[in-house]
Amino acid sequence: MKDHSMPRVVISGTGLFQPAQVITNAELVASFNAFADLQNAAHADEIAAGMRVPLVHSSVEFIEKASGIQQRYVLDKSGVLDPTRMRPKFAPRPDGELSLMAEIAVDAAKKAMAAAGKQGRDIDGVLCAAANMQRAYPAMACEIQAAIGAGGYGFDMNVACSSATFAIEQAANAIKSGSATCVLVVNPEITSAHLEWRDRDCHFIFGDVCTAVIVEAADTATSADQWEVLGTKLVTQFSNNIRNNAGFLNRCEDTDPDARDKTFMQEGRKVFKEVVPMAAAHIEQHLHTLGFEPTQVRRYWLHQANLGMNQLVLKKLVGREVGDDIAPIILSEYANTASAGSIIAFHAHHADLKARDLGVICSFGAGYSIGSVVLRRV
């Protein structure tokens, strides 16, 4: 039953920061192969003695066929592509300067605020939700809150690739309960820094980006582009199949900070098999609790990790193959951008929908974690 005592909640604006630098699959593979050749030459004796397995070349054909990814945006291309480095190079900043994560967050936030017609003073909650945080504290959200002149409160939250959808639920609940009226959800995803560019199995997966969403009470919204949040649904189920062991205990454990387990690791095939049925069932159940069938949804803005994965989720949901019009794919251009992927899809592909059209944003990722947001165009 609808509770009329609770304020209705809308998404009234989105923003996207996209780095200027692009790495194509061809550039990425050339750099990986140069790195593999250097490593193999450096360890030629061990390889010849059978004590070490040589590194094998990567291939553009494999990447495109297995994932659907064609390129990715990154904040620092030269560091990633340098076969003697294989990670981005960022200059450390003094504490008095805006942090890198906050910088891209403020860019996306200002675009979302402009789209929603909001000033900093209108915002009374800032959720910085991303798969990685630049530091332990103070919260990135507090720095972003100060930089945009927002009031209220801010906090960081990490639910890996589901950080954005989980944050939209927190924002919607804060508005419904009256603890906030207008919340900025911002997702600065500098995934190039957690990706292991030296691992052929995953070196092609991620890209950098930042998304921002304004979530507010319908009563205060003035934007011409509003989406009512009809419902949110979150679920988690523990799995080690996507894991990163970097953390504040590392130095006390006397482990190597550059060891393989201190960056992104996954069992990609297991993730694919286990998450597809979970995500399809989750979305179906969510829609049913709101009285809708999956076929009534005009557009699905799904998590962007793998083209085949999204096609299978949709096939289970609507019983047939669907194209970009029902479920737009942005990962060919952006790669996997962790929690930002489904939000980029929404940001780039909602303008053509009509009033009262239904849409679903759904993320899936480490945890496992799945979050869905059912929207109706106002």
Contact between 54 and ligand COA by CB under 6 A: the answer reads: no
Q: Within 13 A of 195's CA, how many CA atoms are on the CB side? A: 27
Dig out the tokens for 16 from the structure: 């996207």
Minimum separation from the CB atom of position 272 to ligand COA (A):
4
Q: Does 59 bind ligand COA (CB under 6 A)?
A: yes
For the chain, helix (H) and strand (E) counts, in that order, are 11, 13
45/61 with CB nearer ligand COA: 61
Say whether residue 185 binds ligand COA (CB under 6 A).
Answer: no
**What six digits make up the tokens of 211?**
């998304």
State the minimum distance, in angstroms, from the CB of residue 266 to ligand COA: 5
242 sits near ligand COA (criterion: CB under 6 A): yes
Closest to 365 in 3D by CA, of 124, 159, 129: 159
Query: Beta strands of the chain (E only): which ranges?
Result: 9-17, 21-24, 71-74, 125-129, 153-157, 182-189, 209-217, 227-236, 242-243, 265-266, 299-302, 358-365, 369-377
DSSP state of 218: G
- Of 121 and 269, the one with the shorter C-beta distance to ligand COA is 269
Quick check: 305 binds ligand COA (CB under 6 A)? yes
Residue 170 or 306: the one with the smaller Cβ distance to ligand COA is 306
How many residues contact ligand COA, by CB under 6 A?
A: 21
Single out the residue of 22, 30, 66, 218 in contact with ligand COA (rule: CB under 6 A): 66
**Which of 187, 192, 266, 372 is close enough to bind ligand COA by CB under 6 A?**
266
Determine if residue 31 is left, alpha or beta; phi over 0 gives left, psi from -120 to 50 gives alpha, anything else beta. Answer: alpha
Pairing of strands 358-365, 299-302: parallel
Residue 110 Cβ vs ligand COA, minimum distance, rounded to whole Å: 27
Does the active-site annotation cover 128?
no
Active site residues: 161
Per CB under 6 A, residues contacting ligand COA are: 58-59, 62-63, 66-67, 161, 200-201, 242, 266, 268-269, 271-272, 305-306, 309, 336, 365-366
